[in-house]
Structures are given as C-alpha cells and as structure tokens.
Amino acid sequence: MIRLQKYLAHAGIGSLRACERWIAEGKVTVNGEIVTEMGIQIDPEKDTICFKGKPVQGEEKKTTIMLNKPDGYVTTAKDQFGRPSVLDLVDIPGVRLYPVGRLDYQTTGLLILTNDGELTQSLTHPKHHFPKTYEALLQGEVKSQDLETLRKGVVLDDGYRTRPAGARLIGLNGHNSRVEITIYEGKNHQVRRMAKAIRHPVLRLKRVRVGDLTLGNLNEGTWRKLTPKEIQSLKAAAQTDSQKDRKGKRK
C-alpha cells in the first residue's frame, strides 16, 4: 500500500505538493471515484488510478536532466500566449519531464527537469532554502553598500524581507555592473525584485549554479542527463541545508 499522492509523484505526474494540489482539486480518481482526501492508501496492483481522466502508469524510470534555458521560453507545459516551452527543447521517448521550479521568460541558464517527485520536493520545499546562483547585469554602478544590502536581505515591493543572500561584484560592463547573486528561497521574480529594491534594475539575468551543480560549458538550448553522483549531491545538499536550518531554530 502507498499514499495516493506519493504514488502519483513516483509515476512522474509532478512534485508531491503538485500532486496533493491536484487531488484536492478533484483531478484524480481511484477506481472511477473522485478522491480529494489526503493520505488515502492505494494498492497499485489492484486499484486503477487516473489523472485528468487518463490512467496513471506505474513508476517511471527516474530521469533527471540539466538544460541551458534560452531567452524567450516559458518553464510551463502550456502558455496562454502561445510562447515556446522549455519542454519543446527536450525529447526523450516515453519520458515525461517537469521543470524543477521556474525561470522567468527572459532569464537564461541552468534549469533542472525531472520525473523524480521526491527530488523535486527536496529542491523546491521552502524549508530547505536551497542555494541558486545567478550572474546579473545590473543597470548602473553597484556600490559596496548595495552589495551589503543584498547580503543582509532587502524589502521587496510587497513588504517581504528576503533572507540574507550572497552578493559580489564580478566587474563593470561599460556603465553597468556584473554581479553574482546567490539566493536561498524562491519568491516570484526574486532576483529582479531584489535588484529593483537597490535601484539597479536587471538588464540581463542568467542562472549558473543550483547547489553544487554548475552550468559549465553546456550550450544554450541544449541539455544533458545528470549523473547518479550529481543527483545524490543535490539531494544531500538539500537535506544538509534543512538540517542546518532546524539547528538554527533550536538555538
């Protein structure tokens, strides 16, 4: 027996949280009956599970890739404006992949796609504070006090104060500044809003690292599978960061 939402995540339908949301929205049936209750146990050998009317096949072979996302692609399966999706760039027969988190339409760089629901949960759950590093071209000359403000946390336009971030000046590009920024949370358009808060709007933004995984020399618009060692490193980093956060709260 296995919990319904965990079965769906293992089958590659989406992250554990996404599967829970879809159950609550009545998009999942068990033996023809809509189920909205969390924690229900099912028997994959006997029960018929459907998502949006289509039978869910058992657990897929776990596949995780890294994509160098180009500008002009959305990180959702469908877009109301008909814009191209990152899923259009990946074709692995018989495998359904989902982006881990999102990158803005104009943001480029490292994006992980997987059908491993547990990995997605590890990398995106708010309690894990998983590090993500960006190279940003910011308008104007960024001063040391601006970097210090980013490091301490800034107040965004909705009043939310960000967690302390990593920030260092890489160099100048004419009258503008190249800055490396590492964040430990995933608020909507966070880096762009942080830059706006210090009055140096983003001109160009690229994600170059997730945990210990770096973009390297992967060409824009191309992808590669992650090695078992890289996947294990991602999971370990998320767990370690979560443990550090719990220790900090107990002090």
CA 174 – CA 203 distance, rounded (Å): 13
Structure-block tokens of residue 122: 């590890």
List Cβ neighbours of 158 (8 Å cut-off, separation of 6 or more): none
Structure-block tokens of residue 28: 């999942």
CA 207 – CA 251 distance, rounded (Å): 33
E strands, the chain, where?
2-3, 28-30, 33-34, 41-42, 49-51, 54-55, 64-69, 98-99, 108-114, 132-138, 166-173, 176-183, 202-210, 213-214, 223-225
Active-site annotation holds for 104: yes
User: What is the Rg, in whole angstroms, of the alpha carbon atoms belonging to the chain?
Assistant: 20
Separation in Å, CA 192 to CA 128, 154, 206: 22, 12, 11
If we measure between CA atoms, which residue out of 95, 103, 92 comes closest to residue 186? 103
List Cβ neighbours of 118 (8 Å cut-off, separation of 6 or more): 9, 10, 16
Catalytic one among 104, 116, 146, 241? Answer: 104
List Cβ neighbours of 231 (8 Å cut-off, separation of 6 or more): 64, 116, 119
Write out the catalytic residue numbers.
Answer: 104
